[in-house]
A and B are shown apart, each in its own frame.
Chain A
Protein backbone atom coordinates (compact mmCIF):
# COMPACT_ATOMS: atom_id res chain seq x y z
CA UNK A 1 0.00 0.00 0.00
CA UNK A 2 0.85 3.66 -0.15
CA UNK A 3 3.22 5.26 2.34
CA UNK A 4 3.73 9.03 2.69
CA UNK A 5 6.66 10.64 4.46
CA UNK A 6 6.67 14.34 5.35
CA UNK A 7 9.57 16.62 6.32
CA UNK A 8 10.37 18.54 8.39
CA UNK A 9 8.22 17.84 11.43
CA UNK A 10 8.71 21.42 12.64
CA UNK A 11 9.65 24.49 10.59
CA UNK A 12 10.32 27.92 12.02
CA UNK A 13 10.67 30.87 9.63
CA UNK A 14 10.82 34.64 9.95
CA UNK A 15 7.70 36.52 8.97
CA UNK A 16 7.97 37.52 5.34
CA UNK A 17 10.30 34.65 4.41
CA UNK A 18 9.32 31.56 2.41
CA UNK A 19 8.52 28.11 3.79
CA UNK A 20 8.86 24.77 1.99
CA UNK A 21 7.45 21.45 3.17
CA UNK A 22 8.28 18.23 1.34
CA UNK A 23 6.53 14.88 1.01
CA UNK A 24 7.48 11.63 -0.68
CA UNK A 25 5.14 8.80 -1.63
CA UNK A 26 5.76 5.17 -2.49
CA UNK A 27 2.98 4.11 -4.90
CA UNK A 28 3.59 5.32 -8.46
CA UNK A 29 -0.12 4.75 -9.21
CA UNK A 30 -1.22 7.50 -6.78
CA UNK A 31 -2.75 10.36 -8.75
CA UNK A 32 -4.08 12.99 -6.35
CA UNK A 33 -2.09 14.98 -3.79
CA UNK A 34 -3.87 17.45 -1.47
CA UNK A 35 -2.44 19.71 1.22
CA UNK A 36 -4.46 20.48 4.35
CA UNK A 37 -3.95 23.13 7.02
CA UNK A 38 -4.99 22.46 10.60
CA UNK A 39 -5.32 25.33 13.05
CA UNK A 40 -5.29 24.70 16.78
CA UNK A 41 -8.47 23.00 17.99
CA UNK A 42 -9.95 22.63 14.50
CA UNK A 43 -10.23 20.01 11.82
CA UNK A 44 -7.96 20.07 8.74
CA UNK A 45 -8.96 22.28 5.83
CA UNK A 46 -7.92 21.88 2.18
CA UNK A 47 -5.65 24.69 0.98
CA UNK A 48 -4.43 23.36 -2.36
CA UNK A 49 -4.26 20.13 -4.32
CA UNK A 50 -2.58 18.80 -7.44
CA UNK A 51 -3.30 15.95 -9.81
CA UNK A 52 -0.73 13.71 -11.42
CA UNK A 53 -1.11 15.23 -14.88
CA UNK A 54 0.07 18.65 -13.62
CA UNK A 55 3.58 19.64 -12.47
CA UNK A 56 2.79 22.85 -10.58
CA UNK A 57 -0.20 24.75 -9.26
CA UNK A 58 -0.37 28.20 -7.64
CA UNK A 59 -2.96 30.02 -5.58
CA UNK A 60 -1.79 33.47 -4.48
CA UNK A 61 1.03 32.90 -1.93
CA UNK A 62 0.72 29.13 -1.99
CA UNK A 63 2.10 26.74 -4.61
CA UNK A 64 2.51 22.99 -4.92
CA UNK A 65 4.98 21.18 -7.17
CA UNK A 66 4.92 17.52 -8.15
CA UNK A 67 7.78 15.38 -9.44
CA UNK A 68 6.25 12.06 -10.53
CA UNK A 69 9.57 10.52 -11.49
CA UNK A 70 11.05 11.09 -8.05
CA UNK A 71 7.67 10.54 -6.35
CA UNK A 72 7.74 13.68 -4.28
CA UNK A 73 5.67 16.84 -3.97
CA UNK A 74 6.21 20.07 -2.07
CA UNK A 75 4.23 22.95 -0.60
CA UNK A 76 5.68 26.43 -1.00
CA UNK A 77 4.39 29.40 1.00
CA UNK A 78 5.84 32.82 0.11
CA UNK A 79 5.74 36.06 2.14
CA UNK A 80 4.71 34.18 5.27
CA UNK A 81 2.33 35.87 7.70
CA UNK A 82 1.42 35.13 11.35
CA UNK A 83 -1.86 33.50 10.26
CA UNK A 84 0.15 30.89 8.34
CA UNK A 85 1.18 29.36 11.69
CA UNK A 86 -0.51 25.95 11.80
CA UNK A 87 0.09 22.24 11.18
CA UNK A 88 0.23 21.28 7.51
CA UNK A 89 -0.52 17.79 6.21
CA UNK A 90 0.18 16.29 2.83
CA UNK A 91 -1.67 13.24 1.52
CA UNK A 92 -1.65 10.91 -1.46
CA UNK A 93 -4.67 9.07 -2.82
CA UNK A 94 -4.33 5.36 -3.39
CA UNK A 95 -5.46 4.35 -6.86
CA UNK A 96 -6.93 1.01 -5.74
CA UNK A 97 -9.48 2.23 -3.19
CA UNK A 98 -9.28 6.05 -3.40
CA UNK A 99 -8.31 6.32 0.28
CA UNK A 100 -6.12 9.21 1.34
CA UNK A 101 -2.85 8.25 3.02
CA UNK A 102 -1.56 11.12 5.15
CA UNK A 103 1.86 12.40 6.08
CA UNK A 104 2.68 12.91 9.77
CA UNK A 105 2.34 16.70 9.59
CA UNK A 106 4.59 19.77 9.79
CA UNK A 107 4.19 22.39 12.48
CA UNK A 108 4.93 25.75 10.86
CA UNK A 109 5.91 28.56 13.22
CA UNK A 110 6.09 32.12 11.90
CA UNK A 111 8.40 34.29 14.01
CA UNK A 112 7.52 38.01 14.21
Chain B
Protein backbone atom coordinates (compact mmCIF):
# COMPACT_ATOMS: atom_id res chain seq x y z
CA UNK B 1 0.00 0.00 0.00
CA UNK B 2 1.98 3.00 -1.30
CA UNK B 3 -0.56 5.70 -0.35
CA UNK B 4 -0.11 8.80 -2.53
CA UNK B 5 2.74 8.81 -5.03
CA UNK B 6 4.02 11.72 -7.11
CA UNK B 7 6.39 11.98 -10.04
CA UNK B 8 8.83 13.50 -10.63
CA UNK B 9 10.48 14.36 -7.28
CA UNK B 10 12.49 17.22 -8.75
CA UNK B 11 12.22 19.23 -11.98
CA UNK B 12 13.94 22.26 -13.47
CA UNK B 13 12.21 24.09 -16.32
CA UNK B 14 12.98 27.11 -18.41
CA UNK B 15 10.42 29.91 -18.67
CA UNK B 16 7.78 28.99 -21.26
CA UNK B 17 8.31 25.24 -21.09
CA UNK B 18 5.43 22.93 -20.24
CA UNK B 19 5.23 19.88 -18.02
CA UNK B 20 2.80 17.57 -16.27
CA UNK B 21 3.04 16.48 -12.65
CA UNK B 22 1.62 13.04 -12.01
CA UNK B 23 -0.20 11.83 -8.90
CA UNK B 24 -1.73 8.48 -8.03
CA UNK B 25 -3.39 7.04 -4.91
CA UNK B 26 -4.18 3.44 -4.02
CA UNK B 27 -6.56 4.06 -1.10
CA UNK B 28 -9.74 4.06 -3.23
CA UNK B 29 -10.34 7.70 -2.28
CA UNK B 30 -12.96 9.72 -4.11
CA UNK B 31 -11.34 13.14 -3.75
CA UNK B 32 -7.93 14.44 -4.82
CA UNK B 33 -6.15 17.79 -4.47
CA UNK B 34 -3.19 19.77 -5.78
CA UNK B 35 -1.47 22.27 -3.48
CA UNK B 36 1.56 24.48 -3.77
CA UNK B 37 3.76 25.28 -0.79
CA UNK B 38 5.84 28.45 -0.67
CA UNK B 39 8.03 29.64 2.21
CA UNK B 40 6.06 31.57 4.82
CA UNK B 41 2.73 30.99 3.05
CA UNK B 42 1.62 27.55 4.07
CA UNK B 43 -0.29 25.43 1.57
CA UNK B 44 -2.53 26.92 -1.10
CA UNK B 45 -5.05 24.89 -3.03
CA UNK B 46 -4.66 25.01 -6.82
CA UNK B 47 -7.37 22.63 -8.01
CA UNK B 48 -9.32 19.76 -6.55
CA UNK B 49 -11.46 16.89 -7.76
CA UNK B 50 -14.28 16.04 -5.37
CA UNK B 51 -15.06 12.87 -7.32
CA UNK B 52 -14.06 11.13 -10.55
CA UNK B 53 -15.22 13.23 -13.49
CA UNK B 54 -15.29 16.57 -11.68
CA UNK B 55 -12.67 19.27 -11.11
CA UNK B 56 -12.92 22.67 -9.42
CA UNK B 57 -10.69 25.68 -8.95
CA UNK B 58 -9.06 26.33 -5.64
CA UNK B 59 -7.43 29.46 -4.29
CA UNK B 60 -4.66 29.88 -6.95
CA UNK B 61 -5.68 28.17 -10.24
CA UNK B 62 -4.20 30.63 -12.77
CA UNK B 63 -1.50 29.12 -14.97
CA UNK B 64 -2.50 25.52 -14.24
CA UNK B 65 -4.78 22.85 -15.64
CA UNK B 66 -5.77 19.49 -14.19
CA UNK B 67 -7.08 16.16 -15.40
CA UNK B 68 -8.78 13.52 -13.28
CA UNK B 69 -7.77 10.60 -15.49
CA UNK B 70 -9.59 7.97 -13.41
CA UNK B 71 -10.33 7.38 -9.73
CA UNK B 72 -6.65 6.75 -8.96
CA UNK B 73 -4.89 9.46 -10.95
CA UNK B 74 -4.97 13.27 -10.92
CA UNK B 75 -2.45 15.24 -12.99
CA UNK B 76 -1.41 18.89 -12.89
CA UNK B 77 -0.20 20.63 -16.05
CA UNK B 78 1.78 23.82 -16.44
CA UNK B 79 1.30 24.96 -20.05
CA UNK B 80 3.86 27.79 -20.04
CA UNK B 81 5.94 27.80 -16.89
CA UNK B 82 6.85 31.09 -15.20
CA UNK B 83 9.38 31.81 -12.42
CA UNK B 84 6.45 32.59 -10.09
CA UNK B 85 5.51 28.90 -10.32
CA UNK B 86 8.72 27.86 -8.61
CA UNK B 87 7.41 25.97 -5.61
CA UNK B 88 6.93 22.60 -3.96
CA UNK B 89 3.80 20.89 -5.25
CA UNK B 90 1.85 18.41 -3.16
CA UNK B 91 -0.89 16.06 -4.22
CA UNK B 92 -3.35 14.81 -1.59
CA UNK B 93 -6.37 12.56 -1.43
CA UNK B 94 -9.28 12.07 0.95
CA UNK B 95 -12.11 9.61 1.26
CA UNK B 96 -14.74 12.18 0.33
CA UNK B 97 -14.64 15.96 -0.07
CA UNK B 98 -17.35 17.78 1.79
CA UNK B 99 -17.93 15.03 4.30
CA UNK B 100 -19.81 16.51 7.24
CA UNK B 101 -17.40 17.06 10.10
CA UNK B 102 -14.26 17.04 7.98
CA UNK B 103 -12.02 14.26 6.74
CA UNK B 104 -8.28 13.56 6.74
CA UNK B 105 -6.21 14.39 3.69
CA UNK B 106 -3.28 12.12 2.85
CA UNK B 107 -0.33 13.78 1.16
CA UNK B 108 2.29 12.60 -1.30
CA UNK B 109 6.00 13.36 -0.84
CA UNK B 110 5.94 16.43 -3.11
CA UNK B 111 7.58 17.66 -6.32
CA UNK B 112 10.16 20.42 -6.06
CA UNK B 113 9.88 22.57 -9.20
CA UNK B 114 12.26 25.34 -10.22
CA UNK B 115 11.48 27.60 -13.17
CA UNK B 116 14.45 29.57 -14.49
Residues of A within 8 A of B (CB): 4, 6, 9, 31-32, 34, 41-46, 49, 51, 89, 91, 93, 97-105
Contact = CB atoms under 8 A, between A and B. Distances in A.
Given A32-B102, A51-B101, 5 more contacts: A4-B42, A49-B102, A49-B104, A99-B58, A104-B40
Interface string B47-74: 0100000001011000000000000000
A93 B42 contact: no
Given A42-B109, A43-B107, A89 B42 contact: yes
A91 to B, nearest CB: 8
Main secondary structure of the interface of B (DSSP, over half): loop
Interface of B: 4, 40-45, 48, 56, 58-59, 90, 92, 97-98, 101-102, 104-105, 107-110
Contacts of B92: 43
A89 to B, nearest CB: 6
B44 A43 contact: no
